[in-house]
With several copies, the nearest count.
Chain A
Amino acid sequence: MGLSEILRANLLSPIPLAFALGVVAKLVRSEFTLPRDIYTGLSIYLLFSLGLKGGVELAHASPASIAWPAAATLLLGCITPITTYLVLRRLGRFGVADSAGIAAHYGSVSAVTYIAAMSFTKAVGADAEGFMPTLLALLESPGIHIALAIGAVKTASPDRAVGHVLHEVLTGRTMVLLVGGLVIGALMGEKGWTAIETFYDPKGAVFKGALTLFILEMGVVAGSRLGDLRKVGPFLLGFGIIMPILHGALGVWLGHLAGLSVGGATVLGAMAASASYIAAPPAVRITLPDANPTYYLTAALAITFPFNILLGIPLYYEMARWLAG
């Protein structure tokens, strides 16, 4: 189908619609919100599902087939925080702390954007490789570490916390559930998996249903940041859309070189284009207190995330198709 149909189909899929509902709820000043523990519980469930399924697939995959994609992912984890930092510092004239803080977000990855990309590729019949969750785990922390390192070096920041914070990122919820899930999934094998598949399968209705509720709340959170869009200024607005496109293109291209399918390259592009809003914010808040949270939270949550799930992913898909010729 053509781009326009693809876009339309994507916009009318549950993920963007649930996100829009959350935003609208905030716009009409509704007090609706998902209880915090439910929100956390859903994110735990979603991440663990990704890990488990990824582990089951990993057991099948040949090391060779993963090696290059893994290398490409790590490379993205090193490049994207630096490009982000330089663009903001040089072109955007942002301070060191703000530039490094935002770089930590864009150097990491958004699991929900990843999920949206996976279901998009499936919907258009271009399934990504089964080992993608492994790449998701690989992309989570390097970018944050590099960005915080840049920040620590460039600022006379009180490093009383840095070491502790890096450890927190490495042992955070996302890593425990993704990596832990990968190991469990790989060890328990098909037999163990089939017994819990209906509950944990990322392609199943339970996962998709829970995801819809989670994204509804993400919409509420993003909606509460819309007011800040004015505060962040035009440069960051543009940055929040153009940077993902550049990182997305880079991700798709590296994925292509690494031998990923069209679907796989699309998802890797979406991962590179996405910005973390779970692991990065607290880490940045503690190590770069001078970085303004309004900047990095608004850019990641209220600009880049919606752009990716609404338009970015189909765009990266087109890029991947074009590269695949």
Chain B
Amino acid sequence: MHTTTLNLVTIIAEPVLEEMLTRELRQMGARGFTVTESRGEGSRGIRASDVPGQNIRIEVIVAPAVVPAILAHVSTHYFPQYAVIAFVQAVEVVRGEKYI
């Protein structure tokens, strides 16, 4: 089974950011994304939802080349003011072209 190595970027953020983030991710080259409801705690407790700690977990598989742009974007536009984290992993996928 031929597989390709790509990157899985996971972004955990406040729910209000979902639409903006997913739209921007697509603009930065993501061909798709997966969102999961979650909750959590971190250094910064603040939330704008009256359900404290409610989060969304956005997973996006992209080509390694796209990763720096995504990390730079969330770092500048979201990290300072929002409860957001992001982390990157390598993943093996079939149909690598599908994500690029």
- The answer to whether A289 and B82 touch across the interface, beta carbons within 8 angstroms, is yes
Q: Which residues of B contact A (CB under 8 A)?
A: 14, 16-17, 19-20, 46-52, 77, 81-82
Chain A residues near B48 (CB-CB < 8 A): 281-282, 284-286, 293, 297
Report the separation of the CA atoms of residues A36 and B14 in the bound assembly, to the nearest whole angstrom: 16
- A161 nearest CB neighbor, chain B only: B20
- The answer to whether B52 and A286 touch across the interface, beta carbons within 8 angstroms, is no
Most-contacted residue by chain B among A36, A164, A289 (CB, 10 A):
A289
Chain B residues near A293 (CB-CB < 8 A): 46-48
Chain A residues near B16 (CB-CB < 8 A): 282, 285-286
Chosen A-B contacts, 29 in total, with CB atoms closer than 8 Å, are A36-B51, A158-B77, A160-B20, A161-B20, A164-B19, A164-B20, A221-B50, A221-B51, A224-B52, A277-B50, A281-B50, A282-B16, A282-B48, A284-B48, A285-B14, A285-B16, A285-B48, A286-B16, A286-B17, A286-B48, A289-B82, A290-B81, A292-B46, A293-B46, A293-B48, A294-B46, A297-B48, A297-B50, A301-B50
- B20 nearest CB neighbor, chain A only: A161
Q: How many residues of A contact B (CB 8 A)?
A: 20
Chain B residues near A281 (CB-CB < 8 A): 48-50
Chain B nearest CB: distance from A187 CB in Å?
Answer: 26
Chain A nearest CB: distance from B55 CB in Å?
Answer: 13
Q: Which residues of A contact B (CB under 8 A)?
A: 36, 158, 160-161, 164, 221, 224, 277, 281-282, 284-286, 289-290, 292-294, 297, 301
A-B pair count, CB < 8 Å, reads 35
Chain B nearest CB: distance from A174 CB in Å?
Answer: 14
- B78 nearest CB neighbor, chain A only: A289
Report the separation of the CA atoms of residues A147 and B51 in the bound assembly, to the nearest whole angstrom: 24
Report the separation of the CA atoms of residues A128 and B77 in the bound assembly, to the nearest whole angstrom: 48
Report the separation of the CA atoms of residues A289 and B76 in the bound assembly, to the nearest whole angstrom: 13
Report the separation of the CA atoms of residues A297 and B19 in the bound assembly, to the nearest whole angstrom: 22
- The answer to whether B20 and A282 touch across the interface, beta carbons within 8 angstroms, is no
Chain B residues near A161 (CB-CB < 8 A): 20
- B17 nearest CB neighbor, chain A only: A286
Chain B residues near A286 (CB-CB < 8 A): 16-17, 20, 48
Most-contacted residue by chain A among B47, B49, B50 (CB, 10 A):
B50
Chain A residues near B82 (CB-CB < 8 A): 289
Chain A nearest CB: distance from B85 CB in Å?
Answer: 16
Report the separation of the CA atoms of residues A221 and B49 in the bound assembly, to the nearest whole angstrom: 10
Chain B nearest CB: distance from A48 CB in Å?
Answer: 20
Report the separation of the CA atoms of residues A296 and B96 in the bound assembly, to the nearest whole angstrom: 31
Chain A residues near B51 (CB-CB < 8 A): 36, 221
Chain A residues near B47 (CB-CB < 8 A): 293
Instruction: Contacts A277-B50, A292-B46 known; list 5 others, CB within 8 Å.
Output: A164-B19, A224-B52, A285-B14, A289-B82, A297-B50
Chain B nearest CB: distance from A111 CB in Å?
Answer: 14
Chain B residues near A284 (CB-CB < 8 A): 48
Report the separation of the CA atoms of residues A164 and B17 in the bound assembly, to the nearest whole angstrom: 12
- The answer to whether A289 and B81 touch across the interface, beta carbons within 8 angstroms, is yes
Rank and list the top 4 A-B pairs by shortest CB-CB distance, nearest first: A285-B48, A289-B81, A282-B16, A281-B48
Report the separation of the CA atoms of residues A289 and B83 in the bound assembly, to the nearest whole angstrom: 11
Chain A nearest CB: distance from B41 CB in Å?
Answer: 14
